[in-house]
Amino acid sequence: MRVVRAVVGTVGELAITAGVLLLLFVVWELGVVGFTTNRAQAATVDTLERQFAQPTPTTPSTPSTPSTSSTTDTPTASPTTSAAVPVPPPGDAFAILRIPRLGAAWAKPVYHGIGLDVLAKGIGHYPDTQLPGQVGNAAFAGHRAGHGNPLIDIDTIRPGDAIVVETADTYVIYRADRSEIVAPTDVNVLAPVPDQPGVAPTEAWLTLTSCEPKYGSTNRFIVFAKLDRSVPRAEGLPADVLAAPGGNG
């Protein structure tokens, strides 16, 4: 019995030690690493904002969205063609993602690519999908927990919420349409028409992908958003777009 008690005691101590080490790792990864990563991402956002503020007369602009009806004040979305936006070099930060639902000051750099090294720095853009504002599906990926926890609250995004992609010359404004949870192997969410592979697109979509559950990776949490309108940087972003939405419904 003495031997059994000793073995049980040793196992118990090892389990407690493992639990403490795991807790310390979580605190380190989500706290310390998250803090330093967020600072680095904020610095990249500041750099992009300064770059975007510089005149770029040779860069073609996404046209503003004119109103096509005199009976409504709601502008009609005007997607761009693939030739209107240059493809950024792999690994380059080329846009800023803003989601007011995740915080009034929430802003993350968007990089071209989805490699582990890229996602460690911010949001990644799937290279085989469209660019922001183009007809089809512009798909982004981001960590939910770890590396700054950029999309840790992706599940709080509600239909109608604004999702803004800021580029060198345009504010591309999407509105969340729906969300779903899928297996990691479900690539249909990246189709030009999300969840409808083989269908020719006529609208511009944005798809956000992250891990599900919050602190696991067995599935993927997906948010689909549809283009609302594009606003030239020269006109400024309407203040109401970045207003933090109220409620969770």
pTM of full prediction above 0.85:
no
Q: CA 114 to CA 70: how far, in whole Å? A: 43
Comparing CA positions, the residue from 242, 97, 111, 76 lying closest to residue 166 is: 97
Rounded to the nearest integer, the mean pLDDT of the chain is 82
Whether 27 is covered by a domain: the verdict is: yes
Q: CA nearest 165: which of 84, 101, 107?
A: 107
Domain assignment present for 248? no
Do residues 172 and 62 make contact, with C-beta atoms less than 8 angstroms apart?
yes
> Cα separations (Å) of 156 from 137, 176, 211?
22, 11, 14
What is the domain extent for residue 168?
A: 2-242
CATH code, 127: 2.40.260.10
176 three-class SS: strand
- Tally of domains in the chain: 1
In a domain, 190, yes or no: yes
- Residue-wise pLDDT for 47-98, tens only, equals 999 999 987 554 444 444 333 333 333 333 456 543 346 789 999 999 999 9
Considering the domain boundaries, does residue 247 fall inside one? no
Residue 249 placed within a domain? no
What are the residues facing 210 on neighbouring strands? 221
Is the pLDDT score of 16 beyond 80? no
